Amino acid sequence: MLIGNGPTVSTPMTRHSVHSRAAPEAVGPYSQGVWAGDMLFLSGQTPIDPATGKLVEGDIARQTRQVFDNLEAVLLRAGLAMNDVIKCNVYLINMADFNAMNKVYAERFSSPFPARTTVAVAELPLGAQVEIELVAKRP
């Protein structure tokens, strides 16, 4: 609710982005990561090999490892690590891959684990089997 008769003035938000050359270039108009105070929001990463720019071939475990390698590169560039992650969203094209993805996930995080949501989606960019996005917090 606005109180008063004066004009509403909107101050533009300044985004502070994070970019790592060790992660794939964005395939659209978005940043690899964006700071909001002490919170770092990482865009979803697919299993693209940053050296070739191509999707890695293989099963869900191999693709999930590549996704985490990409995410970790952005975190490291921002001065953070996987243990600074507080929320993770996982997108799978097939829920039958949940257990295999979960095994790789357990290799990358330790207890207490980040909060997580895992959902099945109809399709992901470039034919990927998995996409993961993260939220991390500066210690």
Q: In DSSP terms, which residues pair with 35 in a beta bridge? A: 16, 40
In a domain, residue 70? The reply is: yes
Q: What is the pLDDT of residue 1?
A: 44
Residue 72 backbone dihedrals phi, psi, to 5 degrees: -65, -35
In a domain, residue 98? The reply is: yes
In a domain, residue 1? The reply is: no
Confidence of residue 5 (pLDDT cuts 50, 70, 90): low
Give this prediction's pTM: 0.88
Q: Mean pLDDT across the stretch 57-69?
A: 97
Is the pLDDT score of 14 beyond 60?
yes
Q: What is the pLDDT of residue 119?
A: 98
Query: Distance between CA 27 and CA 45 in Å, rounded?
Result: 10
> Could you give the number of structural domains in the chain?
1
Residue 120: give the domain boundaries.
32-137
In a domain, residue 9? The reply is: no
- As given in the structure block, the two tokens for residue 30 are 């978005």
Query: Distance between CA 63 and CA 114 in Å, rounded?
Result: 20
Angle, alpha carbons 86-121-18 (nearest 5°): 40
CATH code for position 46 = 3.30.1330.40
| Coil/strand/helix, residue 14 | coil
